[in-house]
Amino acid sequence: MAHDVEVQKAVRAYYVFDRLSLEKAAEKAGVAFGTARRWKAQVEQSGDNWEKARDVHVMASGGIEHIAQGLLTGFLIKYRTLMTELEENSEMATADKVEALSALADSFAKMTASSKKLLPETSALATAMRTIEMVANLVKSRKPHLLAEFIELFDELEVLVKKEFK
């Protein structure tokens, strides 16, 4: 089904200016994710890079705090997407999931550490995420038989951390 050019512009606007994930931008515009992904790839070949436009918009919209917030927001969107993929992947072994969780927690800690001078409120959240990473590594090395239970508790812990550090 052919879509109006305005729908493609709407997907781009949701993605670039509202900073929605491509999946959410497509959903909000009423098109399939595959269609939005195809549009994004097609226009990139002609020089319209939505990622760069998104970054430029963040930089142009404010000072250094906005840039840091934009970078952190972009990272968090990708972080949450990967977390969802890990949770929904029933084919991945539990040990592999814990290893992936540890890698994500490490990336999160590094990202927040680099931005904490610009955004001091992220420091407490970074400490919490680092602690979770340490616990995941401890469970993996000392009590691997508890990995499945740890993964189950992780969802609850994520909710608690979000409530505590908002």
Q: What is the pTM of this model?
A: 0.42
pLDDT, greater one: 58 or 97? 97
pLDDT at residue 28 tops 60 = yes
d(CA 70, CA 166): 17
Q: What is the mean pLDDT of residues 135-144?
A: 87
Overall average pLDDT of the 132-141 stretch: 85
The answer to whether 119 touches 69, Cβ cutoff 8 Å, is: yes
- Region of poorest pLDDT, from 31-35, 92-96, 146-150: 146-150
Please answer whether residues 102 and 86 qualify as being in contact, where contact means their C-beta atoms are separated by less than 8 angstroms.
Answer: no
Q: What distance in Å separates the CA atoms of residue 164 and residue 143, rounded to the nearest whole number?
A: 28
Q: Say if residue 112's pLDDT is above 80.
A: no
Q: What does DSSP assign to residue 146?
A: G
Q: Is the pLDDT of residue 59 over 70?
A: no
pLDDT of 58: 67
**What local confidence, expressed as pLDDT, does residue 34 receive?**
93
pLDDT at 15: 92
On whether the CB atoms of residues 90 and 127 are closer than 8 A, the answer is no
Is the confidence at residue 121, as pLDDT, over 60? no
C-beta separation of 148 from 124 below 8 A: no
